[in-house]
Chain A
Amino acid sequence: MAETQRSEQRFLPRYRTALKNRQQQENLLQFQRAWARDREAAFADQQFGELRTRLTAAKNQILDDLDGWLKRFEDAARANGVTVTHARSARDACEQVLTICQQVGARHVIKSKSMVSEEIELNHFLAAHGGTAIESDLGEWLVQLAGERPSHMVLPFIHKNRRQAADLVRQATGSAPDHSDVPAVVHRARDAIREHFWSATVGLTGANALVVEDGSVLLVTNEGNADLTVTLPQVHIVLAGIEKLIPTLADAAVQLRLLARSATAQRLTVYTTFIRRPPAHHRLHIILVDNGRRNMLADRRYRAALRCIRCGACADTCPPYQVVGGHVFGHIYSGAIGLVVTPAHHGLAADADPQSLCVSCHACQTVCPVNIPLPQQILDRRSEVVASQGMPLTLRAMIEVWKRPSAFDRAMRAAALGSGPLRKAGNWVDLPAGMSSLPMLNAQASWRSFSAPAAQPFRELFLTRGRRQSDGRFDSALSGKRIALFAQCLTDRFWPEQAAAVTDVLRALGAEIVFPERQHCCGLPALDAGDYVSAREMACQTLEVLEATGADFIVSGASSCVALLKHDLLHLFEDVPVWRHRAERMGQRIHSFTQLIAEEAGLPHGIWDNGRHELVTYHDFCQSRHVLHELDAPRSILTALLGCQVVELPEVMCCGFGGARSGLYPEVSRAIGTRKWESIRQTGALTVVTDNPGCIAHLRSMLHRQRGPERVLHLAELVAERLV
């Protein structure tokens, strides 16, 4: 617990400092936008999916028999005249480096970028023993001068600006060109770093890969500093994790195709070097570092993370990372992969707060060149944190109420009554000016309005509107089908009009709608909170209720629930075969509203076209895009059935809702939401369509506060407009 408190004390000041770092936010924003565009162009002539399947298979091959491959690599490297040793811990690795330095009488080590050396905190260790490690990568050198850690695996200095760079160079060298001339500052830094290459006896690098076939070490840089590091000093030390093996040079070629494109959107890095042997009279040591990796290998939840090639793509596409940067979103390893591997190397406490920033948008897995299930793994880490340290009290209280249908019902009815005096048109609640000026409330309420529970939940509306039969105004393949509606707990209570729209559309298509009255919550809030026990309990109740319907289809207008029922439950029930089987069967039966209309309804072109060609933009709910892969379905409904003109958003990204994250980190939620609205407004569309109630609520909450001219609709609501 003491460890946790220390961690929290460190985290919150870091978080607050990062929120004030506009330079970092601007740098990361510009980088993320350029990276997304350039990465797409860089992969235009490649089959990303095929390449990642091949590299994933190659890395899995290694992990399936790591000791065997290590033995083969060591034999090949030793045959090349290389010394290979193993280090079980960070301290062991540091001591081995120190011993080598002492053997050759070296006090100074020149380094090229090595995340493993950061992981084991080698620079501090050497300094404590009278030595000095000088970083030779420009960004790393500047970060070292600043007394900080890299904030990004590929762009270590991205959290700072040119003025800070010039100041650091001036401090280190006694002079520096004006900060406005960045190339001149860089060249001055280059001259200073060059001196260290000449004076160092020992050069230290990481490894981008270790090739088993011939025992070679792969190093890639754009600056050329790694090549100088391995060429000029007489001793070259490679610090590499044991997972860095790759079977063959042909596999390494696949890795290279993916690595440069994923990291910097280049076809190939400038210096791509394979080292088999050291130069004559030089020595090459390879230290293979475990430091928690074997524990990951033995844990099937995290084993796939050992496939990582450290490209940084998961950070480059991460919305919260753009807001807070790598010193907050991670520990020493940053980005999504950092949230997964940190406990293995630095303990769970180091991950306790950073992992809570993840909004589970799944964009990281989509761009990962080795298809690591990062969002799932981050949730697993969250569940470990919750199991060992509990969760924030407010969240705990919320889940305890939420998982009990009757308690939830009472709480919602009380909230509906209690919010009455503050309620405005459309069930919006704005806090009184006096209250929202309080700092704690200001962060939550100054930029958005809140939805109050509707006076009448959908489950009552469904009854009062009568168990109407289908009107069948439109011929469809759903005519005569019995469809069970899973409304979603929040839609039921807060936005019943969305569930009503789904119902109206399906009835108009001739379907019979049933509403299982015992339905409550699929378990997503608990899963998102890392409370797997409660999530399973809630999921079991939902499965039982939905299984009992006997309907032809089960449909939900809440794609988040559909994603959970189709995918997350398989993992949640991984060790409970009976429930996993039931979850698999449910996954086959449940449909999102979007999928049902696009794939099952069999509707003719232009059925709901009013001839106005309404200009709309479509926001892909993150999991609809990255998990359910429903990209074409909503667009085909909008264009082919409704005759809308769809303008694509310039940025594909989260809206900033992220479930409880928007309450835990309102500043992050606000920043992402603002970025989203900027993207929306670039389209010129006044109608924003999506199919997930959480996104709709978040976007509407900002829109209402801004009094913007746009409207945000569930796809079912837009279709329902065309029924009359």
Chain B
Amino acid sequence: MERQELRVEFEASARRAGMRVIAVSRATLTSASKQLFEQRILGFEESPARYLATPTVREQYPGLFSCLDARIVETPSEEVTTQAVGLCVAMLGIAETGSVLLAGEQVQERFVWLGPRHVIVLLPETAIVATLEDGLYWFTQHRETGAVTLLTGPSRTSDVERILTVGVQGAEEVDVVLLTSEEEGEVG
């Protein structure tokens, strides 16, 4: 499948799963200011109290990590989590399900996408694969990775009278920032 087709399918699947998908060029993100990232890219009305990021964000997107004054979670707690936004990088996107594959077994990684009510996932467009099998093949090939989570939307339950409630134990909002190689769609 062509990259463009994969992207179109991923975006449709992810939106169906309840995630927001925002396309932005990698160049724009790399040079983004806090204001640009929050207001023009994500459309935030107010800045969150803090950003909790995975070590991978710091390694791969140091400019963004720095301008957002993001923190690595050393000791997770409810206080740290309150009003924080989680920021992480997906290894892959799965076109058929709209899932993002988040890798890592350490608490400081996993808590970033599990704890906050709002999670932002950075996903390079080139990391979109077609199927679930493709995604799990990545895990097969990365034996050093202790755990992976395929996140497919915000946390949800229908346990009470089958009424859907979003944001139960995990995130209430999941935004996928899709990093493209072209100048396009900075404002999602």
A624 nearest CB across to chain B (Å): 32
Pick the most buried of B99, B153, B159, B166: most chain A CB atoms within 10 A of its CB. Answer: B159
User: Which residues does chain B contribute within 8 Å of A27, judged by CB atoms?
Assistant: 161-162
Main secondary structure of the interface of B (DSSP, over half): loop
Are the CB atoms of B136 and A253 closer together than 8 Å? yes
User: Which residues does chain B contribute within 8 Å of A162, judged by CB atoms?
Assistant: 160-161, 163
Render A248-264 as a binary contact track against B, CB cut-off 8 A, 1 for contact: 01101100110000001
Render B143-181 as a binary contact track against A, CB cut-off 8 A, 1 for contact: 101111111111111111111011111110000000000
Number of chain A interface residues as a range: 35 or more
Interface residues of A in 362-392 (CB under 8 A from B): none
For the complex, what is the distance from the CA of A138 to the CA of B105, rounded to whole Å? 25
The one of B76, B139, B146, B168 that contacts A138, using a Cβ cutoff of 8 Å:
B168
Are the CB atoms of A249 and B150 closer together than 8 Å? no
For the complex, what is the distance from the CA of A186 to the CA of B110, rounded to whole Å? 23
Q: What is the size, in residues, of chain B's interface with A at 8 Å between Cβ atoms?
A: 49
Q: Is A183 an interface residue (CB 8 A)?
A: yes
A554 nearest CB across to chain B (Å): 48
For the complex, what is the distance from the CA of A112 to the CA of B123, rounded to whole Å? 29
Q: Is B78 an interface residue (CB 8 A)?
A: yes
The one of A183, A198, A228, A276 that contacts B147, using a Cβ cutoff of 8 Å:
A276
Q: Is B132 an interface residue (CB 8 A)?
A: yes
B147 nearest CB across to chain A (Å): 5
The verdict on A194 contacting B136 (CB below 8 Å), with A271-B149, A277-B147, A279-B110 known, is no
User: Which residues does chain B contribute within 8 Å of A671, judged by CB atoms?
Assistant: none
For the complex, what is the distance from the CA of A658 to the CA of B174, rounded to whole Å? 48
The one of B150, B155, B165 that contacts A224, using a Cβ cutoff of 8 Å:
B155
User: Which residues does chain B contribute within 8 Å of A427, judged by CB atoms?
Assistant: none
User: Which residues does chain B contribute within 8 Å of A136, judged by CB atoms?
Assistant: 169
B24 nearest CB across to chain A (Å): 24
The one of B97, B106, B147, B154 that contacts A280, using a Cβ cutoff of 8 Å:
B106
A280 nearest CB across to chain B (Å): 6
Q: Is A223 an interface residue (CB 8 A)?
A: yes
User: Which residues does chain A contribute within 8 Å of B147, judged by CB atoms?
Assistant: 216, 273-277
Are the CB atoms of B105 and A277 closer together than 8 Å? yes
Pick the most buried of A187, A194, A222: most chain B CB atoms within 10 A of its CB. Answer: A222
User: Which residues does chain A contribute within 8 Å of B145, judged by CB atoms?
Assistant: 276
User: Which residues does chain B contribute within 8 Å of A227, judged by CB atoms?
Assistant: 110, 114, 149, 170
Are the CB atoms of B152 and A186 closer together than 8 Å? no
Interface residues of B in 51-94 (CB under 8 A from A): 76-78
User: Which residues does chain B contribute within 8 Å of A277, judged by CB atoms?
Assistant: 105, 146-147
For the complex, what is the distance from the CA of A593 to the CA of B163, rounded to whole Å? 46
Are the CB atoms of A222 and B105 closer together than 8 Å? no
Residue of A whose beta carbon sits closest to that of B156: A222
For the complex, what is the distance from the CA of A252 to the CA of B97, rounded to whole Å? 15
Q: Is A446 an interface residue (CB 8 A)?
A: no
Interface residues of A in 258-312 (CB under 8 A from B): 264, 267-280, 282
The verdict on A270 contacting B167 (CB below 8 Å), with A30-B162, A249-B140 known, is no
For the complex, what is the distance from the CA of A213 to the CA of B96, rounded to whole Å? 24
Are the CB atoms of B170 and A224 closer together than 8 Å? yes
Are the CB atoms of B105 and A278 closer together than 8 Å? yes
Q: Is A474 an interface residue (CB 8 A)?
A: no
Q: Is A31 an interface residue (CB 8 A)?
A: yes
Subset of 26 A-B contacts with CB under 8 Å:
A139-B160, A142-B160, A156-B159, A158-B159, A183-B166, A186-B160, A194-B169, A222-B157, A223-B155, A224-B168, A227-B110, A227-B149, A227-B170, A228-B114, A228-B115, A228-B169, A231-B114, A232-B76, A256-B132, A267-B97, A268-B17, A269-B152, A270-B151, A270-B156, A273-B150, A276-B146
Given A142-B159, A182-B160, A225-B170, 6 extra CB contacts under 8 A? A137-B159, A139-B160, A194-B169, A225-B169, A249-B137, A279-B107
Q: Which 4 A-B pairs have CB atoms at the shortest separation, nearest pair first?
A: A224-B170, A139-B159, A277-B146, A272-B150
